[in-house]
Chain A
Amino acid sequence: MRSNRILSVFLCVLMIGSMFASMASAAAPKIGLAISTLNNPFFVDLRDGALEEAKKAGLGITVADAQNDPNRQLSQVENFIQQGVNIILVNPCDSAAIVSAIKAANRAKIPVITVDRGADGGEVICHIASDNVQGGQMAGEYLAKLIGYKGKVVEIQGIPGASAARDRGKGFNEVMKKYPNIKIVARQEAGFDRAKGMTVMENILQAQPDIDGVFCHNDEMALGALRAIEAAGRLSAIKIVGFDATDDAIKAVKDGKLVATVAQKPRAMGSMAVTVAKRVLDGAKVDAFIPVPLELVAK
């Protein structure tokens, strides 16, 4: 008897609570933002961008940090569903593990947007991530300008088949094709790895007496190539462009050793995610993929 009474009181409280909750959400639509980890400045910036934009747009937003644990992220998304958020923005810890969380949101008819990292399944309204193709184009344009739109260029590629390698290479090569006086004399792969970037560049330096520019699909390989070029005493003749804007690479750009690197803009990514979420909540149609522009970092 007694326990029944407690239970009914509890249920009443719950009902009243959920009434208030639904009233609150009717007043201001609520966004649930599930982030893979805040132990990484990149995602902290992403969160800040989202918070700022939500404040500007007058939207409520709740942030959950999964600390890189896919399991924790799943329960956080489930909590969002329980809380009755209107839209979920998720930056998955793991593209495969997030699928069950997305399906749960789909069943609850809550739209899902993925940010930075995509999902392998479930219904996702929109994916927002850096535009690697555009980044490759920017790197290509800058390098072409620096070498006077003519000369011999080397492309050091990432892991064959990886999406970053594919997209960055695609953008770069689109630009190179525009300039008939630029010849790509070597296209070799160095697995996004610094040591491999160095050995591959050493070998290319042996094969190519004249090189004017090098584009590497990431900064690690660019820094490896830099070591090889420095050791060969050819840095004054060769311009190197990297990608990712890691701390080491930004330092090398400042020291004038790399001419440029390409930076992602996590803050813009966060605010873009909230802007798109607002459009979805307003009932507008959005593209399946929305690229976030990148930024060239040069001296």
Chain B
Amino acid sequence: MLAPRPVIDILRRYGMTFILLAMIAALSFMNPRFFSVSNFLTIMRQVAINGALAAGMTMVILTGGIDLSVGGNVALAGCFAAGALQSTGNPWIAIVVALGVGLMIGMVNGFFVSYAKLPPFIVTLATLALARGFTLVYTEGRPILVDSPIFEVIGGGFLAGVPVPVLIVAVVYLIVGFVLNRTKFGRLVYAIGGNEQACRLSGVNVERTKMLVYVWCGLLAGLSSVILSARLLSAQPTAGTGYELDAIAAVILGGTSLSGGEGGVGGTLVGAFIIGVLANGLNLLNVSPFYQDVAKGAVILAAVLMDKAFHSTADAR
């Protein structure tokens, strides 16, 4: 028995959103304290960092690439920014430094991937190690204090009842969504992921587009580092460990294909929320740490399986 066509189309398009809503419903049922405005604001604030990283990662993955360096990028950008803040006392300079470091790592990634034609997995694995290494050299393994009212507002402030990090990331998603869907650059990103050879043959500057995609990803990692150190009021030399995997997971959960060309930043946001809601829910339910990873793995696998099932039902029509 098959459901009517429109229902299946909706399932196909919004499958992950339904899974997220189902998770929220289940968690609210299991712990009433989950379903509260303050908890939702907490989740949104926590998702902000992975959300910003995953937005950049979406662009990279859409071209068929990958960026494993974002976690190291967050650490290096954050520590350099904190160092700049300590020596100049000017938070705006610190923010520019963070964005600049992120941008530079993005440029290095982009250069080696598009112009030196090296595989993105290897290039970004190397820049991840480089960024982590430079961070440890620079900080000598010690956290750096971030003492600035501006950072306090960025990390913990509210504007019209909404946490500032959430507003920042909302703007990021609007911009990235606009760039991907409404600009020539965005269409090229999808086209390159679909068929790079065809793009090149039809005269598209593939190298430049790919380069820019890594620059975007690096820049957003720099932005994430600002949010992270603003939340902690400290820059950690080991910050961002494993963040690349959370970002990639959000992108894939959001329905973007690892081989590129298919997906989008809206789905990524849903993916990031699935990961954030799960972590929050496991804490609220006080699930034993020994079982949490089991739960995480099982939920991610189940979500992807269900999404695939929705797709194949739709395709069968």
Query: Do A and B interact with each other, yes or no?
Result: yes
**Which A residues fall within an 8 A CB radius of B?**
157, 160, 185-189, 193-195, 198-200, 202-204, 206-207, 220, 223-224, 227, 231, 247-248
Q: Choose from B228, B279, B289 the contact partner of A195 (Cβ within 8 Å).
A: B228
> Which residues, 185 to 235 on B, are CB-close (under 8 Å) to A?
228, 231-234
CB-defined interface of B1-41 with A at 8 Å, one 1/0 digit per residue? 00000000000000000000000000000010110101100
Complex CA gap A58/B284 in Å reads 59
- Please, which residues of chain A bring their CB within 8 A of the CB of B232? 194-195, 198, 223-224, 227
Residue of A nearest to B229 (CB): A195
Residue of B nearest to A208 (CB): B33
Q: Are the C-beta atoms of B239 and A195 separated by less than 8 Å?
A: yes
Q: Are the C-beta atoms of A193 and B238 separated by less than 8 Å?
A: yes
Q: Are the C-beta atoms of A188 and B33 separated by less than 8 Å?
A: no
> Does chain A have a CB within 8 A of B283?
yes
A155–chain B nearest beta-carbon distance, Å: 10
Residue of A nearest to B36 (CB): A206
- Please, which residues of chain B bring their CB within 8 A of the CB of A227? 231-233
Q: How large is the interface on B (under 10, 10 to 19, 20 to 34, 35 or more residues)?
A: 20 to 34
**A contact face: mostly helix, strand, loop, or mixed:** helix
Complex CA gap A248/B234 in Å reads 10
Residue of B nearest to A154 (CB): B286
Q: Are the C-beta atoms of A203 and B38 separated by less than 8 Å?
A: no
**Which B residues fall within an 8 A CB radius of A?**
31, 33-34, 36, 38-39, 42, 45-46, 142-143, 145, 156, 228, 231-234, 236, 238-239, 241, 279-280, 283-284, 286, 288-290, 292
**Known pairs A194-B234, A220-B236. 17 more at Cβ < 8 A?**
A186-B286, A188-B286, A188-B289, A193-B238, A194-B236, A198-B232, A199-B279, A203-B42, A203-B284, A204-B283, A204-B284, A206-B36, A223-B234, A227-B231, A231-B156, A248-B143, A248-B145
Complex CA gap A118/B192 in Å reads 53
- Please, which residues of chain A bring their CB within 8 A of the CB of B142? 247
Q: Are the C-beta atoms of B286 and A189 separated by less than 8 Å?
A: no
**Known A195-B236, A198-B231, A207-B284; contact A189-B292, beta-carbon cutoff 8 A:** yes
Q: Are the C-beta atoms of A206 and B33 separated by less than 8 Å?
A: yes
Complex CA gap A194/B289 in Å reads 17
Complex CA gap A200/B284 in Å reads 9
- Please, which residues of chain B bring their CB within 8 A of the CB of A231? 156
Q: Are the C-beta atoms of B279 and A203 separated by less than 8 Å?
A: yes
Most interface-central of B36, B234, B239 (chain A CB within 10 A):
B234
- Please, which residues of chain B bring their CB within 8 A of the CB of A223? 232, 234
Residue of A nearest to B163 (CB): A231
- Please, which residues of chain B bring their CB within 8 A of the CB of A207? 31, 33-34, 283-284, 286
- Please, which residues of chain A bring their CB within 8 A of the CB of B288? 187
Most interface-central of A160, A188, A202, A203 (chain B CB within 10 A):
A203
Q: Choose from B31, B33, B231, B283 the contact partner of A200 (Cβ within 8 Å).
A: B283
Q: Are the C-beta atoms of A206 and B234 separated by less than 8 Å?
A: no
A57–chain B nearest beta-carbon distance, Å: 34
A-B contact pairs, 6 of them (CB 8 A): A160-B290, A202-B46, A204-B283, A206-B36, A220-B143, A248-B143
Residue of A nearest to B292 (CB): A189
Complex CA gap A207/B35 in Å reads 10
- Please, which residues of chain B bring their CB within 8 A of the CB of A199? 46, 279
Residue of B nearest to A40 (CB): B141
- Please, which residues of chain B bring their CB within 8 A of the CB of A157? 289
A219–chain B nearest beta-carbon distance, Å: 10
- Please, which residues of chain B bring their CB within 8 A of the CB of A224? 232
